[in-house]
Structure formats: C-alpha cells, structure tokens
Structure 1
Amino acid sequence: MKCEIKVLLFWEGLPACALITKKIVEDFGENLTFIATKPDVPFEKLEEKIGKNIIWLSHPNEIWIRKDEFLDHEIIIHTGWCWKKWLKFDKYMKKSGAKICVSVDNRFKLNFRQFIGAFYFRLFLRPIFDHVFVPGESGIKLMKFLGMKKNAIFTGLYGCDENIFFNKKIFSERKSQFIFVGQLIHRKGIDILIKSFQNYKQNNGKWSLRIIGGKSWDNQYGFLDKNIIYSPFLQPEEISIEMSNSKCFVLPSRDDHWATVVHEATRCGLPLLLSRAVGAHEDLLEQGKNGFLVHKNIPNILEQLMHKIESLDNENKLYHFHNKSLELSKKFGIDSYSKSFHRIVNAAQK
C-alpha cells in the first residue's frame, strides 16, 4: 500500500532498532524522507537493511540551514525537543500547514525535573506538537503528565527486527548463563551486576555470566574470571545468537529510558531480571511470570534473584518464563511500529 502524503522522519543517532522502519519505508516509498545523525556505535549496512537512502546530518541543528528543501512535506516526525533549530524548523513548517509529531523515549519518573518540565512543556512546547510517539506505558504516563491529550499519544516507537531476533534454540539445550548486553557504564548498573554475580558465585551459584558491550574490558570493576565471558559490542545478528544460547537476561540499570534490548531479549525467549529504572518493564515484564523486578537495585537483592532463577530452572519451571517472554514480545516490532506510524499520519490529516 503506497501512501501519497509526504512525510519527513528524523532519528537522532540512528540505532540498530531503526530496522523496524522497514515496512513504512516500503509503504511510503519516495514520499518518505529519512534524515538521521550517525550513532555512537556503528551497525553494518544499516541503510541497505532499512531499504532507504538516508540524508545524514552532521548535527541535528543543521536542519535549519536546509529547511527549504523540505517545504513540501506535510508531516514531520522527529526525535526529541532539545535542539533549538529543530523547534524553529517545526514552527516554520507549521506555518506552511505541516503537522508535527515528536518521538519521546523518556520514562515517567515523577521527579522534580519533570514537575518543572511540565510547566515548560505546557507553556512553550505543547503548542508546537500535534502528536507524540512513545515506546510504551511509561511514555504514555509521562506525556499525559506533561499535558498531551491521550488521543494524541501513540505507542510502538521502539522494538527490534523480529527477522533478526527470534527464538533460535530449544530452551533446555541452552547454556546455564545470565546475559547482559549494553554499555559498561555506571548508569547501566554494570558494577551492581558484577558484584551481585560475585556474591552469587561465592554462595555456590552454578551459572556463568555473558557480558556484551563496550569497546574493551579493562577489569575496572575488579572481578573477572572464567565464569564471565566477555565480548565488545557485536552486530545484531551476533547478539541474537548469544541471547538464544542463554537462559536469563539481566539489566540492573540505575536509569534507562525504554531499553530496546529488553525487547530483543524477550524475542529470543529470555526470562528477565530488570530494575525499576528500565522503562520497558511496564510493557515486557510480568512479575513472577516471565521474570522478576529488582525492587531495590542493590547487589544482595539481585543475587537472591539469580539464585531464584537457577532454582526455577532446576525445577523445570523456567521454561514457562521463556514462553511468557515470547508471548509478551509480540506487542512490539515492525508491524506495531508500522501500524502506529500510519495512525499518526491518518490523525494528522484530520
């Protein structure tokens, strides 16, 4: 189904999860202009896999000096509102009749900054944006709190390519190992993970830990032995294989937005151990059914849950968690993104 309306899509730091745009690229064809800035972590042949030549900006604010190239576009969908020239571009395009949809991946925290942000958003930003595109439930809560009407909020912004991430191996044949995929930084709770795993092993835990992420492992967290298998960042296809060879995904972040990696994990049938700071837990984790929420993000609590996961596997019960993750994963992905994208376009034409 080819769509005639002209849409401009901008994605800052184009990530691998942008592969979920493949269907709308096909649907809109030449009527979709895809603009992006380069990601910090390069992914091989991303344009080729998406099926679209991308206009690369050196910086998001570059849009302003190129504004007249896009005057014929009727809908603008772009990430965030922190770049002044993008907001200026939005206002410029609204004068010509374009509708503006902002993509927001922040989660609802109900902290002081968001209280102040609510006043600012209602005064200066809400008049600019006609619609908002968010990943899931936490995003809905945030944007309603900031003043957007519920019927102007659309979910499905994030998700992985289900042609890459899927259940590749029978659960009973997988390695008894936890897996972490992400940056090796304080915000992602890598130190909490290492300390928890250290305690787990000292208390007779039998599983190993697979860590994927970062440019190199310099043992800065003080624990590295034969029970930790480490790789720097891998391509999505390689990560999918590693996930499908593991039995539990762990992400003890101190602060995260939605974390698409959680969807990747559920697509591969992994039970989950997530902190409350991971936005996707509201959409992809059902307590005691496909994993556990780490209510207090401290090593001894996570260690206890690691032992619980091992115990469930010994009792042949973890397989049910595997099935539930696969079921919940179906809520997001290429089709979900495409349907929401079309709904936004349809709403913008009313």
Structure 2
Amino acid sequence: MKKVLILYSELAGYLITCLRQWALSGNQAIVVHWPVNPEAPFELPQIDGVDFISKDLLESEELKRLVNSRELDGIICSGWIDKSYLRAIAFSKLDIPSILVMDNQWKGTVKQLVFSRIARLVTKRFFSHAWVIGDPQVEFAVQMGFERDRIRTGFYSADVNAFKGYYEEVLMEAKEFPKTFLYVGRYVRHKGIFDLWEAFVQASEELDSDWKLICIGTGEEFENRVIHEDIIHLGFKQPDQLLEGMSGAGVFVLPSHFEPWGVVVHEFAAAGFPMLLSKEVGAGSSFLEAGKNGFYFESGNVEDLKMGLSKFMKMTDSQLREMSIHSNELALKTTPENWVKTLYELL
C-alpha cells in the first residue's frame, strides 16, 4: 500500500477517475485543492482511502505538517503557480519523491527560454521527477533541467470505461451515424466558441445541411451565446450527467485558441467521436491523426473551421464510422490503470 499527498489546483473529473483507480488498487491519497470554481461547479465524490481538503481551510503551518507526514511515500504538485505549495515542499524534510505535474507545451518562445533557465536553478530544490501530460510537454520538462529518465507522460486520463460504452452501444449500433457536432467546455472567448458558432451557421447555410450543434458548459459568455435553431445549449453538466447530455451527438469539436491539453478530447475519442480540433489543442498529439479520425484547423480562423465542419457534413456514414473506430483505438492507449502503474514507477 502506498500513500501520496497531492497538492492540486482546480479539481477535475480526470483526476478523480485516476484517484478511484489508485484507491481500488489498495492505496491512499490526501488531496489538497483550490476552492471549487463557480464556472465549473464540481461536486466532490466520496472515495474510500482518499481525503479531500480545500486549501482555503488550511493554515500554512498545517500544510507544512502534511508534507512532513512520515506516512507519505511521495508528493505530487500541480505546476508552479501556487507558491504556498512550493514553500511547503521546500520545507519537507522527507527523503521521498516529489513530483511536478505540468501541462505546458514547449513553444520555444523567449519567455519560455528565460523561464526554463531560471527554473533549472530551482527545480532540483523542489522536485525529483516530472509527470507531464504528453509528448508536447516533455521538451519543456527537459528544458527545466529534468533528466529524461525522470520524466513520465500520461498524468491526465479520461474515464475510458465510462465513455467507451457510448462507442460500443450507440455509435456502432446506430443505423445512421449521428449528424450532430458536440462542444464541451467553458463559455469563454479563448475557447473559440464564437468562432464555432459563426462557422457552423455559415457551413449550415452554404450546404443547406441538417446537422446540429450541441454545446455543453457555462461561463462568463453564456448570456452572450448565439441563438440558432440548430444550436442547442445545455448548460453545465456534472461528469455523471455528461453521457446523457451528449446523446445523439457524433463528432467532437474543440476550437480553443489556447489549450495545453484538453482531457475532454480523450473522453470523446474513447466514446468514438471523430475529431475537429484547433492546432492549439495539445491532446491532439495523442488522440487525433489527421485524415484518419478527424481534422485540424488554424485556431481563430473561422473560414478554416468552416471548411472542417463542411468536410464532416459531406461525409458518408461509412466514412464517419471508420473515423469513429480509429478514435476509440487511440483513446484506449491511455487509461487510469496505466496512471496507477506510472505512479508506482515514480515512487
């Protein structure tokens, strides 16, 4: 049995899925997390062996005591933005692995180059390993001074078993492949939602298409959403309500202007959805092979996004099913079970 302390920012379903698997494998965890974001009102689950503590309820001295608990086999910290987490880790006197989780893609910008040089000076003081999301993040960890044999990928994993049922029971059994696009995410401008709505309306009118668009989420722009007879806004859905909300959809679209990863891509790949992703979506590196299970488009380019939507609108059922099969195959390469195996390796 292993026990870890996880110092986390904003909780999300993908971490809960992996923690469930961690606990099912006979292990324990303490999760300190930021207060729940009102834009994504997450409901904390009950998991035997996993304790959740909101950071706003902890004094700094209590956090220091947690990081020095002799029951721990390792400490995981989500990024470097929370300085109180870093100070607590620096205070730890335990000789156990301290693991940095990061989802930043390496772009080679001047800002990243400067940051990585500074980070090299302090990384070894705080962390022994890096656990990144995918290949686009590995180079960033290397630039920060981590040796490649101390870097692992796959920290984010969807609840593959929950979503693959939609692929097996709906998409593969349907007489006709669903002619409905699906967006799941916050209603904020950098998610590209206004680009999506504009491109969808244009493509629908030009092709006289009967395709629909379902949008699930909430956020500061929800009141400014585009109202159209073929665009359905369902609002925010808890993880256990998502499967119901996506009923009748068949192609997933994520038009983000900035998206270091996007676990939602993994979720809907597992559900067998062909993909239409902006080139800024990091998860595409693992779950989208252009031309095989979907397409990329230039972020912020409405015309390019419209062309992608139009390609799907013109496809036959057999073409859509082939893409669906390939999406599911790619998704099954990353699972919560593999997450647990990786954490064992790090400890």
TM-score (norm 1): 0.89
Aligned to 2:330: 328
- Counterpart amino acid of residue 21 in structure 2: K
Q: Is the 8 A contact 2:298 2:305 kept in 1?
A: no
Equivalent position to 1:57, from 54, 58, 75: 54
Q: Which moved more, 1:182-191 or 1:19-28?
A: 19-28
Q: Structure 2: how far apart are the matches of 1:210 and 1:187?
A: 19
Q: Structure 2: how far apart are the matches of 1:68 and 1:162?
A: 36
Q: Structure 2: how far apart are the matches of 1:58 and 1:6?
A: 19
- Counterpart amino acid of residue 212 in structure 2: S
Superposed, which structure 2 residues align to 1:141-160 within 5 Å?
Answer: 141-160=139-158
Equivalent position to 1:261, from 257, 260, 264: 264
The Cα shift of 1:53 comes to 4.3
Superposed, which structure 2 residues align to 1:1-350 within 5 Å?
Answer: 3=1, 5-18=2-15, 19-30=17-28, 32-40=29-37, 41-44=40-43, 46-48=44-46, 50-59=47-56, 62-71=59-68, 72=70, 73-93=72-92, 95-168=93-166, 169-171=170-172, 172=174, 173-204=176-207, 205-214=209-218, 220-221=224-225, 223-243=226-246, 245-295=248-298, 297-313=300-316, 316-345=318-347
Q: Is the 8 A contact 1:134 1:140 kept in 2?
A: yes
Change (3 A) 1:126 1:70: closer
Change (3 A) 1:216 1:11: closer
The Cα shift of 1:333 comes to 2.4
Q: Structure 2: how far apart are the matches of 1:74 and 1:21?
A: 15
TM-score (norm 2): 0.89
The Cα shift of 1:281 comes to 0.7
Q: Is the 8 A contact 2:257 2:300 kept in 1?
A: yes
Q: Which moved more, 1:64-73 or 1:100-109?
A: 64-73
Q: Which moved more, 1:60-69 or 1:81-90?
A: 60-69
Q: Structure 2: how far apart are the matches of 1:70 and 1:283?
A: 34
Q: Is the 8 A contact 1:61 1:84 kept in 2?
A: no
Q: CA RMSD in A?
A: 2.2
Q: Structure 1: how far apart are the matches of 2:3 and 2:203?
A: 55
Q: Is the 8 A contact 2:123 2:145 kept in 1?
A: no
Aligned residues: percent identity? Answer: 26
- Counterpart amino acid of residue 87 in structure 2: K
- Counterpart amino acid of residue 335 in structure 1: E
Q: What secondary structure, in the 3-state scheme, does the structure 1 residue paired with 2:105 have?
A: coil
Q: Is the 8 A contact 1:165 1:237 kept in 2?
A: no
Q: Structure 2: how far apart are the matches of 1:118 and 1:51?
A: 39
Gap regions ≥5 residues in structure 1: 346-350
Q: How many residues get paired? A: 336
Q: What secondary structure, in the 3-state scheme, does the structure 1 residue paired with 2:241 have?
A: helix
Aligned to 1:348: none
Gap regions ≥5 residues in structure 2: none
